[in-house]
A and B are shown apart, each in its own frame.
Chain A
Amino acid sequence: MQSPTTPLTGADRRRSRTPAGLAAATLAVLLGAVAVPAQAAPAEPPVSNDTVQAETTTAGLAERPFMGWTSWTMQSSKYPGLNPDGDYSYLTEANVLKQADALAAKLKPYGYEYVNIDAGWWRDNAWVPKFDQHARQTPDPVRFPRGMKPVADHIHAKGLKAGIYLPVGLEKEAYANGAAPIWNAPGCTTADIVYPDLRTTNGWDSAYKLNFDNPCAQKYIDSQAQMFADWGYDFLKLDGVGPGSFKSGDNYNNVADVAAWQKAIATAGRPIHLELSWSLDINHAADWKRYSNGWRIDTDVECYCNTLVSWENSVDDRFDDAPAWSRKAGPGGWNDLDSLNVGNGEMDGLTRAERQSYATLWAISKSPLYTGDDLTRLDDYGLSLLTNREVIAIDQNGAAPARPVTPVGDQQVWGSKNPDGSYTVALFNLGDAPASVTAHWASFGFTGTASVRDVWNSRNLGTQKDRITSTLPAHGSRLFTVRPGTALVSTSYEAEAATNTLSGNASVGGCDACSGGQKVGNLYLGGKVQFNDVRVKKDGIYTVTVAYVSGDPRSVTVSSNSGNGTSLKFPSTGDWGTAETVSVQLALKAGANTITFDSGTWYSPDIDRIDVPQSL
């Protein structure tokens, strides 16, 4: 959940997607929220500092990306009939259990197990929240007339797991003039757990920031965790977490909140998967990995429109944003690309090609696979996408996420090495017209013939020499498993070599992650590096692999000899201390050649090295 109380500012990189009706509801919530703060009541003396050290990981959880269903996608949609009692009113016990039953019947055999209740379980249809006397969220009796525990019990009875949701911080409406006593924390009230100036936090500024200098704050988190454990929940999505959620700065740094949650869960007596949302700051990836089981790397995938999602708003964002995170995920914590809504073409608002590409990117990125579709209305194609065992196996194989092995234009090739030595290779056409896309084996470091399986079409395509080309529809994809041929032999040329020609501001700098410990940086506004004397034995078009460092996606014009070159965007390497590679196609002639990286009129990646195959 993200939208209900998200102020849309010009700084948000997310385009405004909130229809007028939703904006009105949002405004009402905000007005209610700012109408508060009375002076905090004088606090009782705080309880003594709890020195229990939290586990740094929650053993056994998220060994693989979780799979399941979320309520938010249908809650957020204007699709006719989904939210008859106002925005987000889809969330009810009846609907959750209906979906749980459908999940159990149709998807459980394939590994889907979590049924996740999202925002609003403690809010009425006018979005007014309810809290217990201890400032803890309490179920809305209209949505969940029997409370939350019977819901979890039903889910468990189906052999599934139950998920629940909270925003980070102390929701303003729970403050109760600072007087609400914290459960199981004698002497602590809500006044003790926040800052005296009632500074706000989270992606919507809908909560007061918790002050963990006061041990009462941890107690409050403990009380919430214990409540969920007692109800039988197995999963918690903590939302609006910063840095992230379009917020930065001290007030929005919720690392301590997340750590407190991990600590609380460890003592609550029930394993609970902790998932963070949304658009988490990649600079804190180590924190998220340390304290949680997964993190949303991007804004909501939902379109808040008449369908569940749309390609441009915002499925296609993930192709730009996932590469930076490719080295951040692994067993215990995964990059969460948000819900996978490919089960019903008409409701999803996507073409078949888009649905397949969506599922492909999620699987190769090792994203959690949770759908927000109406599981009672899956169409045949949607069911086939959600239940392709080979695709699920790619998602669940425990290896690192795939990343682009080519520059990221309209046509892209992504890949990763699988634990069994094969490669996952995905071709994407993000353009609006059909296009062919070629994966060169050299991009993966091998050459010659390789056997290829078309995963989605369940067809073995036999052996393919040096490359495979497929014709993809607009926004289409292909997913292959490739068993490699022989290793490619290349010659490396370091960017920092004294024989190269640097122009403009380009300069050699240190780089621990780079071969030779150096790279060429400051490639901006005309700066360029020209590799001289790149030698090959035969004329031809070569797959040249470029090692580079770029903390954000940047373009560079790559050319050989007198060529005009091509402006190519290199995907982010995640930070300025990590080197990655992409490969480019360039004509080289027998003998000596030059290869040039020219920043032109903007800023380009730092270049570490190029690897040139010794033969074609």
Chain B
Amino acid sequence: MDFRKTESRAIRPSRRGFLTLAAATGAATALGGLPAFAASAAPRRPTESPLLAADAAAKNQLWWQAPGSANSMIEQGLPVGNGRLGALASNDPARELLMITDATLWTGGRNDTLDSDGQFPYGRDDFGSLTMLATLTVDIPGHDLGTVDNYRRTLDLAQGLVTTTYDIAGVSYQRQVFASRPDDVIVVHFSQQGRGAYTGTVTLAGTHGEATTADRVGRYASFGASFANGLRYGAAVTAYSGTGKIAVNGTSISFTGCRDLTVVLSGGTNYAPDAAAGFRDPSLAPERLARDKVLAAARESARDLLHTHVADFRPVFEQFAIDLGASSAAQRELDTWGRTQARWRDNVPDPELEAAYLQFGRYLMISGSRGSLPIGLQGAWLDGNDPDWMGDYHSDVNIQMSYWLADRAGLSDTFDAFADYCVAQLPVWTEVTQRLFNTSTNRFRNSSGRIAGWAVAYSTNPYGGSGWWWHPSGNAWLCQNLFEHYEYTQDRAYLAKVYPVIKGAVEFWETRLVTTTVTDASGASREVLVADRDWSAEHGPQDTRGNTYSQELVWNLFENYRTATEVLGRDAGYARTIDDLRKRLYLPEVSPTTGWLQEWMSPDNLGETTHRHLSPLIGLFPGDRIRPDASTSKEIIDGATALLTARGMNSFGWANAWRSLCWARLKDAEKAYQLIVNNLRPSTGGSNGTAMNLFDIYETNPGRGIFQIDANLGTPSAIVEMLVYSRPGHVELLPALPAAWAAAGSVTGVGVRGGFTVDLSWRDGTVTQVRLTSVGGRSTTLVVGGTARPITLEPGESVTLRDL
């Protein structure tokens, strides 16, 4: 064994690549920050090109040989995003279409008048919905697809760039689409090699009936409006070129004979993440701000805008890398969609495609979760104003699954959007809960008649509003994510920030637990604490106490709370009270009837055997109270395995991802892998699976599929979980490496609970090298091939082990 320590370095080495490049470019601003559309200082421009060389970029590029249809943008449009503004691009030579969404463009509001059944309304006016901001079209009538040769469009995951190239009559045309966070704009840049030129029209249109106006002198077009809820919003576009003619033509911008053309769009709302201000910034004029941003950007060359963007994007992407092995030449010849189809047709592993699917999830995270609201059911990628389930935040697996990826895959900073959201919503969540939760008609109310802390419903919006039914366990699950982020980062300031959220959930549960008597197998009876009447998340009866789902989540919440109070040195007395409660919690048993870990305090199967949710397995994943080692009884492990087996291998995308994560925890590599393969199945006619653009499709009804982003983020988490399992004090490498990836591979930048990151390489299924770096952690146990090694590091230190 080669055991080598390296010198201390700056804290947060997960940002090492970022710091290196950002230092050179001056674009280093803290990630996170104000989650709002706001004026910002002019970014500093990189002095050297941050662009990757073509061969280096190719590793993280997806490509297609056909543009998207304007009628199928959710399956065929390519996503870009700057963390708040997202767009789907069609890349049609004759008509570039961008469908643009701002993550804060929400209708609805606090929604705090309950229906007669004590539950929340769930409509687009009361609860609200995420909606699209605008469409941008660039019509180039001479570039009919029927005359185009060598069409190709590429999604460069590492650089955040969509590039379309094609030839017409000997001229090579290229267009690039990117969403820049530093400039807060979306850029479409057209260029060509040969004697080509562009003639056409740029059109900006709102999606709620707004009137676009164009300014002849400023050569920009814009619109602005407000919703009934008072939210103001606006967007603006301008175009410029070194040659040809650009002019305002009605409400559009025309361009004639331009050898190159740059179109710049910005937009946003006056949403503010501040409950006290009613979630509005009254001083903000979105249309004017959008205009200022596009005119400021238009003073820069397209090259400088691109370089500024890539200098911002690439370092974040490069905090993590993965290689699952080489694919065949035949696979590489196919475009991404052809490859996806061949993967399913032939059942021949395509490790590069599978790794790219993971990186695509990371790409979506970087593009959709920086500096604004968190990723909801679709992130910032809509194709209409009526997304299913409002494109909202679902608190019974969806938002949690999306954020499982952040720390695992080197994107700790993208977690801030989620944490900041919870913190900003807390005052309203608390007020509404304490006023309404114990309403007599709410069948989930506390029998105790007491109320404290906060809760949410199954759906939440960005105005503190809940939608649909109360979801008493949702707070505990949100807090599990919040606490795990601390485990990964060991960032005390962060923990202090979210502590009130966690404590509020604890207080809620202190008032909600009730006592009951259970009889053990031995015949002895004992008094235990159970969750009050509830639903096992969308499954089975709605009035059962002590559901496994709630028991596990509350157990986890209370344990994490104890740790948080210790770390922060706060509320020691209360922490003891809560930990006493934790010890009295009923924990699930195995049914003598089914052999499954019980979902309810009943030996009977009260629901659907193959139900999509894995609520009773929440202690296996995302929790890890249930572990396939000596700490958990074999009976419980067998019961969990039997239940997971019974749930089946074919469900919705997120449900398959969750199953895969559970199988990875049980170290069944082939089952975990098969579920990833199942999610890569090409979606046809709306069936569950992967669309042309790799968005995951959820079949709501036969023949009707919608996009849900959680599987795009949850499946990558499963891939990581197959390679590295961690909990504080324990890191296990290659717990579930499938044969398809065993030959050779590597991964770098994987987050490790306990405050580390790990890089590892393997060959023939065996770890060949591992490097553990502390991002705040001091000791852990590294388990490789069944051998445990204690590791001690100072923050910033690394250790590399070879010849294991």
Is the CB of A591 closer than 8 A to any CB of chain B? no
Minimal beta-carbon separation of B689 from chain A (angstroms): 11
Cβ contact within 8 Å between A352 and B344: no
B68 at the interface (CB under 8 A from A): yes
Min C-beta distance of B580 to chain A, whole Å: 54
Which one of B34-42, B44-52, B327-335, B421-429 is at the interface? B327-335
In the complex, the answer to whether A436 meets B66 with C-beta atoms within 8 Å is yes
Which stretch in A146-154, A224-232, A329-337, A555-563 binds the other chain? A555-563
A434 touches B69 (CB 8 A): yes
A586 touches B68 (CB 8 A): no
* Chain B residues positioned under 8 Å from A563 (CB to CB): 344-348
Q: List residues of chain A with CB within 8 A of the CB of B144.
A: 352, 473
Q: Which of B76, B146, B166 contacts A356 (CB 8 A)?
A: B146
- A1: Cβ under 8 A from any B Cβ: no
> Which chain A residue shows the least CB distance to B328?
A539
Find residues 106-153 in chain B having any chain A CB closer than 8 Å to their own CB: 144-149, 151
Further 15 A-B residue pairs, CB within 8 A, beyond A473-B144, A541-B342, A564-B347: A352-B144, A352-B146, A356-B146, A433-B68, A454-B149, A457-B147, A469-B65, A471-B145, A473-B145, A540-B329, A541-B346, A564-B344, A587-B346, A587-B348, A616-B330
Contact B345 A565 (CB under 8 A): yes
Q: Closest 3 CB pairs between A and B?
A: A433-B69, A587-B346, A436-B65
Q: B residues within 8 A CB of A473?
A: 144-146
Contacts of A586 in B (CB 8 A): 345-346
A320-356 residues at the B interface, CB under 8 angstroms: 352-353, 356
Residue of B nearest to A589 (CB): B348
State whether the Cβ of A461 lies closer than 8 Å to any Cβ in chain B. Answer: yes
Smallest Cβ-Cβ distance to A466: which chain B residue? B333
A-B contact pairs, 26 of them (CB 8 A): A433-B66, A433-B69, A434-B66, A434-B69, A434-B92, A434-B145, A436-B64, A436-B65, A454-B149, A459-B149, A471-B65, A471-B145, A471-B148, A471-B166, A472-B146, A540-B328, A541-B330, A541-B334, A541-B342, A559-B345, A562-B347, A563-B344, A563-B348, A564-B344, A586-B346, A587-B342
Residue A184 at the B interface, CB < 8 A? no
B345: which A residues are within 8 A, CB to CB?
559, 563-566, 585-587
Query: What's the interface size class on A, roughly?
Result: 35 or more
Is B146's CB under 8 angstroms from A459's CB? no
Q: How far is the CA of A564 from the CA of B678 in the complex (A)?
A: 11
Bound CA–CA A587/B681 (angstroms): 16
A260 to chain B, nearest CB (A): 47
Q: How far is the CA of A563 from the CA of B348 in the complex (A)?
A: 7
Contacts of A433 in B (CB 8 A): 66, 68-69, 71-72, 76
| Residues of the A chain whose Cβ atoms lie less than 8 Å from the Cβ of B346 | 541, 559-561, 563, 586-587
Task: Determine how close the nearest CB of chain A comes to the CB of B166; give it in whole angstroms.
Answer: 8
What's the tally of chain B residues with a CB closer than 8 Å to chain A?
34
User: Which B residues from 293 to 328 make CB contacts under 8 A with A?
Assistant: 328
Residues of chain B lying within 8 A (CB to CB) of residue A356: 146
Q: Is A50 close to B, CB under 8 A? A: no
List the A residue with the shortest CB-CB distance to B331. A541
Q: Please, how many angstroms separate the alpha-carbon atoms of A302 and B431 in the complex?
A: 67
Q: Given A471-B148, A471-B151, A539-B328, A561 and B347 touching (CB < 8 A)?
A: yes
Of A435, A470, A559, A616, the contact of B149 (CB 8 Å cutoff)? A470
The answer for the CA separation of A587 and B329 in the assembled complex, in Å, is 12
Decide yes or no whether B228 CB sits under 8 A from chain A: no
B76: chain A residues within 8 A (beta carbon): 433
A616 to B328 Cα, complex, angstroms = 13
Q: Which chain A residues border B72 with CB–CB below 8 Å?
A: 432-433
Which residue of chain B has its CB nearest to the CB of A559? B345
> Does B169 lie at the interface of the complex (its beta carbon under 8 Å from any beta carbon of A)?
yes
A541 and B67 alpha carbons, distance in the complex (Å): 25
Task: Write the A548-590 contact mask toward B (1 if CB under 8 angstroms, else 0).
Answer: 0000000000011111111000000000000000000111010
CA distance A209 to B365 in the complex (A): 74
For A432, what are the chain B residues with a Cβ–Cβ distance below 8 Å? 69, 71-72
Partner of A474, one of B69, B148, B149: B69
Q: How near does chain A come to B649, taking the closest CB pair, in angstroms? A: 13
Is A476 interfacial (CB 8 A cutoff)? yes
In the bound assembly, the distance between CA atoms of A457 and B347 in angstroms comes to 39
**A residues within 8 A CB of B68?**
433-434
Assembly CA distance A356 to B146 (angstroms): 9
Contact: B330 with A540, CB < 8 Å? yes
Q: How many angstroms from the CA of A432 to the CA of B67 in the assembled complex?
A: 12
Name A's B-contacting residues (CB within 8 A): 352-353, 356, 432-436, 454, 456-457, 459, 461, 469-474, 476, 539-541, 559-566, 585-587, 589, 616
Q: Which residue on chain B has the smallest CB distance to residue A436? A: B65
Bound CA span A586–B92, Å? 30
**Cα distance A586–B341 when bound, in Å?**
11
Q: Which residue of B lies closest to A471 (CB)?
A: B151
Cβ of A454: which chain B residues have Cβ within 8 Å of it? 149
Question: Could you say which residues of chain A place their CB within 8 Å of the CB of B71?
Answer: 432-433
Question: Which of B68, B71, B169, B348: most chain A Cβ within 10 A?
Answer: B348
Could you tell me the distance in whole angstroms from the C-beta of A109 to the nearest C-beta in chain B?
Answer: 25
Residues of chain A within 8 A (CB-CB) of B66 are 433-436, 471-472
Q: Shortest CB–CB separation between residue A46 and chain B, in angstroms?
A: 62
The smallest C-beta distance from B486 to any residue of chain A, in angstroms, reads 43
What residue of chain B has the Cβ atom nearest to residue A468's Cβ?
B149
> How far apart are the CA atoms of A461 and B71 in the complex, in Å?
31
CB distance from B766 to the nearest CB of A (A): 24
- Residue numbers in B under 8 Å from A585 (CB-CB): 342, 345
| B contact residues around A561 at 8 Å (CB) | 346-347
Q: How far is the CB of B354 from the nearest CB of chain A, in Å?
A: 16
**Cβ-defined contact, B67 with A434, below 8 A:** yes
By a CB distance below 8 angstroms, the chain A residues around B681 are: 564
Specify which chain B residues have a CB less than 8 angstroms from the CB of A587 in the assembled complex.
330, 342, 345-346, 348
* A408 smallest CB distance to B (angstroms): 16
Q: Which residue of A lies closest to B147 (CB)?
A: A457
Q: Which of B64, B71, B151, B330 has most chain A Cβ within 10 Å?
A: B330
Least CB separation from A541: chain B residue: B330
Contacts of A436 in B (CB 8 A): 64-66, 151, 335, 338
User: Separation in Å of the A342 CB from the closest CB of chain B?
Assistant: 13
Specify which chain B residues have a CB less than 8 angstroms from the CB of A435 in the assembled complex. Answer: 66
CA–CA, A585 and B71, complex, Å: 29
- Indicate the member of B147, B169, B329, B345 with the most A CB atoms within 10 Å: B345
B328 contacts across to A, CB distance below 8 A: 539-540
B338: chain A residues at CB < 8 Å are 436
A469 to B166, CA, bound (A): 13
Contact B347 A471 (CB under 8 A): no
Which residues from B are CB-within-8-Å of A541?
Answer: 330-331, 334, 342, 346
Of listed A457, A461, A471, A616, residue having the most chain B CB within 10 A: A471
- The docked-state distance in angstroms from the alpha carbon of A539 to that of B330 is 8
On chain B, the residues within 8 Å of A471 by CB distance are 65-67, 145, 148, 151, 166
How distant is the Cα of A561 from the Cα of B681 in the complex, in angstroms? 17
For residue B145, which residues in chain A have a CB less than 8 angstroms away from its CB? 353, 434, 471-473, 476
A353 proximity list for chain B (CB < 8 A): 145-146
Q: Distance in Å from the Cβ of B325 to the closest Cβ of chain A?
A: 14
Interchain CB contact (< 8 A) of A459 among B64, B169, B331, B344 = B169
Complexed CA–CA distance, A432 and B66 (Å)? 12
A474 to chain B, nearest CB (A): 6
Residues in A whose Cβ lies below 8 Å from that of B335: 436
Shortest Cβ distance from residue A337 to the other chain B in the assembled complex, whole angstroms: 21
Which residue from chain A places its CB closest to the CB of B169 in the assembled complex?
Answer: A459
A539 contact set on B, CB distance < 8 A: 328, 330
Residues of chain B within 8 A of A616, CB atoms compared: 330
The distance from the CB of A600 to the nearest CB of chain B, in whole angstroms, is 15
CB <8 Å contact, A476 and B347: no
Q: Which residues of A contact B166 (CB under 8 A)?
A: 471
Q: Note all chain A residues with C-beta closer than 8 A to B151.
A: 436, 471
Can you name the residue of chain B whose Cβ is closest to the Cβ of A433?
A: B69
Bound Cα distance from A211 to B365, whole angstroms:
79
Chain A residue numbers with a CB within 8 Å of B148 are: 471
